[in-house]
Amino acid sequence: MWPRILKTMKKNKPLLFTGLIIFGILVFLASLSIGRYHVSMADTAEAVISKILGTQSDLPGEVFTVIFDIRLPRILLALLVGISLSLAGTVFQGVFRNPLVSPFILGVSSGAGFGIALGLVLGLNLFLVKLLGFGFGIVTVFLASFLGSALYNRSSITMVLSGFVIGSLFSAATSFLKYIADPYTRLPAITFWLMGSFSYAEGGDLKYSALIFIACIIGIFLLRWKLNILAMGEEEARNLGENTGRTGSLFIVLATLLTAISVSLCGIIGWIGLIVPHIGRMLVGPDHRKLVPFSILFGGTFMLIVDDIARTISSIEIPVGILMAIIGAPLFIILLLKKNLHWEE
């Protein structure tokens, strides 16, 4: 049954996108309802409707507290991070013309990880820790591109190489911080944070980060056609009238902001940025005019599902970064095996 549904959806793109939106809304509602405090789907729907319409409801007050004060901020953050990492993966793969590139290619994760570790070692409050993570994530990419252009030029291979070098440097610095950190309090905090989890999310996070998330997502959405041009390669894109230095840098800045803010809020969640663009190319094709909307619609939902599993599968929450790797690695192998079958029409 599934292959037939997939085939129909591949043929009918509007149906596919409508399906993705409906699926996303259902997962969103389900995520509000599941958790240790039991709220039925019907009660969740009722609470959401009464909140939107501002009508009175007979539901107990704690249902509203659990749904809107505890679960909603985390769900919104998971959605935004899922969208961001998927979109950053799509952008980096297009700009670097390489489908095996992840959002962490330029060392953002190493830099942000260092910033977080530094903040935790210094015993700063959570907001400052996240700010340091974000700042160092940006600094890494800035250093990588500076080093890249100083070494040779702005070509993608030198940028990737210098990203790797700078990233390794920050990883070593992070290891050093772990080594000197208090092994009973600070070290576990650093380790758990970098594993990737939404449990460090606070209600206030969204207030500061939502603007950056949404601005970058909208920016990439509006510029998505240019990814098709950049994917032709540097010289051909220039022959098609594209100022590749400027457009490419703009994409890298937007994708880096999204990645850095994601890592600073919830650690390193791998695989999703690699897999979602691949699933997208299978279902909607490589045209970024469709692939970018797909990454937005599917990336958020996908992250939400994995986070739902992470927080309900056992009595202790599993870091979502670990679960994403457990789901992501085998899924990626399946995608690579199926790729040749599906790319043929």
Partner 1 sequence: MLTVAGPNAAGKSTLLRLITRAIRPSGGSISVFGNDIAHMPLRQIAKTISFVPQIHKPMFPFTVFEMVLAGRNPHLGELKQPGKADEDKALAAVALTGISDIAGRPYTKISGGQLQLVLIARAIAQEAPVMLLDEPSSHLDIRNQIGILKTIDRIRDEHELCIISVLHDINLSLAFSDRLIFLKNGKKTAEGNPGDIVTAEMVKEVYGVETAVLKDGENTYVAPHLKNNEKK
Footprint of partner 1 (CB under 8 A): 94, 97-99, 222-225, 228-229, 231-233, 235-236, 238-243, 281, 285-287, 289, 343-345
Task: Tell me the C-alpha distance between 268 and 196, whole Å.
Answer: 5
Phi, psi angle pair for 132, to nearest 5°: -60, -45
CA count, 13 A, side-chain hemisphere, 123: 3
Question: Closest distance between partner 1 and the C-beta of residue 344, in Å?
Answer: 6
Question: Closest distance between partner 1 and the C-beta of residue 60, in Å?
Answer: 49
Based on CB atoms, which residue is closest to partner 1, 98 or 191?
98
Based on CB atoms, which residue is closest to partner 1, 137 or 277?
277
Cβ-proximal residues to 132 (8 Å cutoff; 6+ apart), any chain: 115, 116, 118, 119, 124, 264
DSSP classification of residue 328: H
Question: Closest distance between partner 1 and the C-beta of residue 221, in Å?
Answer: 10
Question: Closest distance between partner 1 and the C-beta of residue 22, in Å?
Answer: 25
Task: Tell me the C-alpha distance between 196 and 235, whole Å.
Answer: 39
Question: Closest distance between partner 1 and the C-beta of residue 190, in Å?
Answer: 38
DSSP per residue, 81-145: HHHHHHHHHHHHHHHTT-TT--TTTTSHHHHHHHHHHHHHHTT--HHHHHHHHHHHHHHHHHHHH
Based on CB atoms, which residue is closest to partner 1, 126 or 223?
223
Question: Closest distance between partner 1 and the C-beta of residue 241, in Å?
Answer: 3
| Nearest of 236, 220, 217, 226 to residue 287 by alpha carbon | 226
Based on CB atoms, which residue is closest to partner 1, 8 or 168?
8
Based on CB atoms, which residue is closest to partner 1, 253 or 326?
253
Based on CB atoms, which residue is closest to partner 1, 69 or 236?
236
